[in-house]
Amino acid sequence: MSLDFKPGEFSDFFRDETFRGDFTYRNSPHLIRRFPFPFDRDDYMYAVNMEPHVPGRKGTAFEHILDVDEHYVAEMIDRAQVLAEDPLRCQSLPHMTLAGWDVLEFIMETKARDYPHWFTLERDGHRWRWINRPLGIDHSFTFLDESTLPYGPFEYITRQTQGDWTLQDERDGTLWMDAGIATSQADWSVDFDVGMNFHEWHAPVPIAHDLGVFDRALKFLLKLQHGAPVRRFNWTMTVNPLLDTAPETYPRWGPMRTTLTPENMGELMHLRVELQSLYRLPRSNAIAFDIRCYLARFDELVTVPKWARRLHRVVRDIHPDLAAYKGFLRNRDMMTEWLSRHDDGAPTSPGWWPED
């Protein structure tokens, strides 16, 4: 049994593009304006910044709980390529199987409800039928019976879902990352982090520990209730529209940072935003952590005047330790100079919406 899929049925909506090699990834004009721009003010400091994860403005990345956009099929093809090269990018410790079924049920129910033209879930007791039209999948299986799936439940459904996912088991007064899939991560490794507790896997983040950010975040998350998910932003910078910027592939993408010039800055430098959402799962009591990655070129972002001004000011004024952690300290001066051409000095309104 395998998860071979046959994309193309919805090629009039889903883009045929690449995140490697010739890098044909682009955002349509519509998608630029629905990009989840992460800065609600003209400066940045690491913070918990949690808010309820509820459906938001129509036509934005927040309209539905799980956002399916024009990059869906291409991202799933890229995920399959990464996993074929390195199966350890997806791991689940044995005691997390029930949590994997929780995630499978949540994703299938949510997509079938919010995108019925693309996804269908039919249930007759434990006999389920899942139809994923964009990927050409029509599969019947028995819920809670792993033998009826080509992979474990966690891997099966996350191979069909944008964003990286981790599962946190709660024990000993903390959270343990005991399952994960990561093919679009910002320089962290499932193989390295699996089995670590909350503070251990966040250890590389500068400044935030001294500010008590992670102590507060853990205290908050341990109180997370089923049916009351939360979300937050994280972000970094990436040269070229690379989904896969893992430590394991650093020799491929690390040297790309040296290819920036003032002439190619707008095309090559990408703001990489993670819309992170967390859900308490009903059967296992684990926490699912969805890390949805969005990419936008600088020359796409500066078509929105408010974002052009704000991005310049954030890059210009950010603490050097944070610029280093987010991977652009060596290029910050060049980035600042390029962005300054698109900052007319006008004040910006609060919040991240482009028209406010």
238-271: per-residue pLDDT in tens? 999 999 999 999 999 999 999 999 999 999 999 9
Q: What is the reported pLDDT for 334?
A: 97
Known catalytic residue at 292: no
CA-based nearest residue to 276, from 163, 188, 186: 163
133, 232, 316, 332: which one is catalytic? 232
Q: Establish how many alpha carbons lie within 13 A of residue 117's alpha carbon, considering only the half-sphere containing its beta carbon.
A: 4
| Percentage, residues of the chain above pLDDT 70 | 94
| 17 close to 25: Cβ distance less than 8 angstroms | yes
Residue 26 above 80 pLDDT?
A: yes
Domain total of the chain: 1
Give yes or no for residue 127 having a pLDDT over 60: yes
The verdict on residue 184 lying in a domain is yes
Confidence at residue 161, expressed as pLDDT on a 0 to 100 scale = 98
Query: Residue 7 pLDDT > 80, yes or no?
Result: no
Given a cut of 80, whether residue 207 has pLDDT beyond it is no
| Residue 77 domain boundaries | 47-295
pLDDT, position 1: 42
In the predicted structure, residue 327 carries a pLDDT above the cut 90:
no
Q: Is residue 226 part of a domain?
A: yes
Return the half-sphere exposure (C-beta side, CA atoms, 13 A cut-off) of residue 294. Answer: 27
Burial 145-172, CB ≥16 within 10 A → b, else e: eeebbebbbbbbbbbbbbbbbbbbbbee
- 355 inside domain: no
Domain assignment of residue 285, yes or no: yes
Residue 145 predicted with pLDDT over 60: yes
The confidence score (pLDDT) of residue 217 equals: 85
Q: What is the pLDDT of residue 213?
A: 74
Report residue 155 as tokens.
Answer: 């891997």
**pLDDT class of 126 with cuts at 50, 70, 90:** very high
According to DSSP, residue 63 is labeled S
pLDDT at 57: 92
Supply the pLDDT for residue 105: 98
Which tops the pLDDT comparison, 117 or 327?
117
Q: What is the pLDDT of residue 310?
A: 97
Provide mean pLDDT across the span 202-206.
Answer: 70
| Tokens read off for 64 | 């539905």
Residue 31 forms part of a structural domain: no
**What are the Cα distances from residue 92, in Å, to 9, 88, 165, 176, 201?**
32, 10, 11, 12, 16
pLDDT (mean) for 9-20 = 83
Say whether pTM exceeds 0.75: yes
| 183-197, 211-225, 287-301: the lowest-pLDDT one | 211-225
pLDDT of residue 210: 64
Is 344 part of any domain? no
- pLDDT of residue 10 exceeding 70, the answer is no
Whether 206 maps to a domain, the answer reads yes
Q: Is 186 part of any domain?
A: yes
Q: Based on the number of CB atoms within 10 Å of its own CB, is 310 exposed (0-12), middle (13-18) or buried (19 or more)?
A: buried
Q: Compute the average pLDDT of residues 45-53.
A: 85
In this prediction, residue 209 carries a pLDDT of: 57
Question: What's the confidence (pLDDT) of residue 201?
Answer: 78
Q: How far apart, in whole angstroms, are the C-alpha atoms of residue 11 and residue 232?
A: 31
Nearest-5° Cα angle at 77, 74 to 83: 140
Distance, in Å, from the CA atom of 91 to the CA atom of 75, rounded to the nearest integer, reads 19
Output the CA–CA distances (angstroms, integers) from residue 190 to 132, 152, 155, 158, 159, in the order listed: 27, 17, 13, 14, 15
- Which band of pLDDT confidence, cut at 50, 70 and 90, is reported for residue 199? confident
